[in-house]
Amino acid sequence: MRWGAMTLRIGSHLSVAGGMFNAVDEAITLGFDALQVFTRNQRQWTAPPLTSEAIDAWKVALGRTGWKDSASRLVSHNSYLVNFASPDEASRQRSIERQCDETDRCESLGIGYCVMHPGAHLGEAAPRDKVLGTPPTKDELIGLRRIVKSLDATHRRTAGASVVTCLESTAGGGTNLGYDFAHLAIVLDSVKNPERVGVCLDTCHMVAAGYDFSTAPRAKGVLDAFQLACGDTALRVLHANDSVGERGSRKDRHEHIGDGACGEHCFRVMVRAAAAVNAPVILETPKTMSTDGRPMDEINAAQLRSYASRAQRLVRAVIVCALLAGVSASSGCRRTWKQKGQSMQVNRSDLAPGEVAQPTPSQHIKLEDASKDLAGGDYARALAQFREVLRENPLLPTAWIGVGDVHVAQQQWKESAPAYQRATKLDVNNYDAFYGYGMSLHMLGQYVDAVRAYHRAISLRPNDVNANISMTIVYLNMGEPRAAVAYGERAVRIDPKSASARTNLGVAYERCQRPSEAVAQYNAALELAEPSSRLLINLINALTADNRTSEAVLTAEELVRISPRAESWERLGWVRFKAGDWDASEAAYREGTVLDSRYYPCWNGIAINAINEWIRSKKGDADAATRARNAIQHSLEINPDQRRIMRLMGQYDL
């Protein structure tokens, strides 16, 4: 889309799985004009170098785009590990190494822009009510100086590179810098090679940081403030994301365009600002599908183009109106244009903005009947009735939720997710829609998007124990136990008698190396519900970590009584070994192999006991060595992929 000398270049951050060229081909398929990628794993410090084959395949794919100025359309996002503001010298040096490597990779691939988070100073966080545009705090200023020095060092080591490093505006959580335009301006004004540094503004981050886009004049005021601080040409990349968090929330949570707190004025102003300097507009919104099977990237891009197009039409209409009336472009003329536009629009739902469609009396009866069929297990009939209602009125969120519920009952998560998602679009305040959507995404392994949906559900019902438990579990699945603890503790406060809440909080405590607190939660859960094998195993592990071995043995013996399986005997053998009762330990492991001869952890336990006996004999007990060797061979025959056991064999020359 071109407006005179301006070009609107919309793209997205796309996956490079299977080869970087795949991201280019996907961009072509989606009709994009720009692209952002990770050139390497963003959560690891080291990565193999780019091969000549990978570079060639990337460039061949770029040739298929028809982009004559591809460098200015291509964006790399550097590693999340890089922190130029860190007070730790070793960490900063490692970050500089990583950024130099990223710059070299961008040069090899012909990528013009590399986006990076400015960094976190890790000192005392600024007050949450700190006014934007005011001078940085002492710790912030120290962090900004470190960023400047790190950028200068990077530029010295990559002299001659054409890649522009783009500092990304942040939401301002914790001690992260870059949430205030003043931070970005200080860096731009201080680096020795300012031509190699630009800015990537993120719409979600700006709103979360506290910038006000609520009206057209205020949105224009934000842009003016940025340009005054950083200059008219500082904007090199725009990340177009809506915000789950409200203005000033400091939460970095992205949402689909039009579904969050940013508002139309934000996107209209910022997209046109990007087009004015030919900056690529990159979507980082959730990678989901619409109910009609279209990628949401495609829909979000269309929404951005719509905002930009309407903004341009508004300018033309005001000018034409003023010429016809012989007056300046007044507010009265703007009202005339809006009224005309409204009369030409087709409102297929006949709903006022924000209004939610309601079923007719006959549709209400059908919905009730469908719900009864669902409760009775007649899924086919229930689904048919919900769909019949949707044929009459496809804008009923309750009917879409019903469709999602039917699929959930059958564990058909791929089918339930788009149904719930449609309901969230039709009713942005429907807890059941967001919770169902989050649960479906959770079961599909789309954890980040599930978190966003659960967050919205919790914002609608903060004291709903199920949503808080689900959030605890999804953060545990993501390997973020500290975040899980916060929601687990909230779930327990909401319902202290929930065994599930206490169990999951226990898991979160255990993974945060807080075993005594985990034990307390597991014991509380056991008082509230019948003991399950999984809960007892968790308790055994936590007791052992808390050096309460005798209690762990008693718990393991209870586990064997209620669930006499190989896994249970393996835990009993393990804790008895920890307690130094080695004969009883080996006996427990052997009992496990009798119940399930292919449960290799029991064979490993037998081997460990035999090795222990061999070592205690000062390696003179040949029978113990033979038992160890035979047990390890049994284990590896069942599961050859056991590096620890293979190392054990090599260590003791078995």
Annotated catalytic residues are 43, 77, 80, 117, 168, 202, 205, 239, 252, 254, 284
Task: Give the amino acid at 350.
Answer: D
Query: How crowded is residue 140: how many other Cβ atoms within 10 Å of its Cβ?
Result: 25
326: which DSSP letter? Answer: T
Question: What 3 state SS string does 526-554 have?
Answer: HHHCCCCHHHHHHHHHHHHHCCCHHHHHH
Whether the Cβ atoms of residue 18 and residue 67 lie closer than 8 Å to each other = no
**For residues 275 and 10, is the Cβ–Cβ distance under 8 A?**
no
Q: Is 75 exposed, middle or buried (0-12, 13-18, 19+ CB in 10 A)?
A: buried
Give the pair of three-digit tokens for residue 579. Answer: 């307690």
Query: Tokens 């469709």 correspond to what residue?
Result: 403
211: helix, strand or coil: coil
Q: 376 by DSSP, 3-state: which?
A: coil
Query: Quick one: which of 386, 394, 310, 389 has its CA closest to 349?
Result: 394
> What gap in Å lies between CA 367 and CA 421, rounded to an integer?
19
Output the 3-class SS for 448-472.
Answer: HHHHHHHHHHHHHCCCCHHHHHHHH
The answer to whether the CB of 285 falls within 8 A of the CB of 36 is no
Q: Is 435 helix (H, G, I), strand (E, B) or coil?
A: helix
- Concatenating the DSSP letter of every residue in 136-151 gives PPHHHHHHHHHHHHHH
For 222, the 3-state DSSP assignment is helix
Rounded CA-CA distance 427/73 in Å is: 36
Given a contact cutoff of 8 angstroms between Cβ atoms, the answer to whether 556 and 571 are in contact is yes
Question: Which of 388, 291, 384, 397 shows the shortest CA–CA distance to 354?
Answer: 397
What single-letter amino acid sits at 622? A
Q: Which residues contact 403 (CB under 8 A, 6 or more apart)?
A: 383, 386, 387, 390, 416, 419
Query: CA-to-CA distance for 279 and 276, rounded, in angstroms?
Result: 8
Give the Cα separation of 498 and 489 in Å (integer): 12
* Residue 259 near residue 290, CB atoms below 8 Å: no
Q: Specify whether the CB–CB gap between 28 and 65 falls below 8 A.
A: yes
Residue 167 bridge partners (DSSP):
116, 199
Which three-class secondary structure state does DSSP give residue 480?
coil
Task: For the chain, state the CA radius of gyration.
Answer: 30
Query: Cα–Cα distance between 502 and 522 in angstroms, integer?
Result: 7
Question: How many angstroms separate the CA atoms of 304 and 375, rounded?
Answer: 42
In angstroms, the CA 481 to CA 507 distance is 8
Please report which residue ranges of 69-172 form alpha helices under DSSP H: 89-109, 138-157
Show the DSSP H helices in 563-621 as ranges: 566-578, 582-595, 600-616
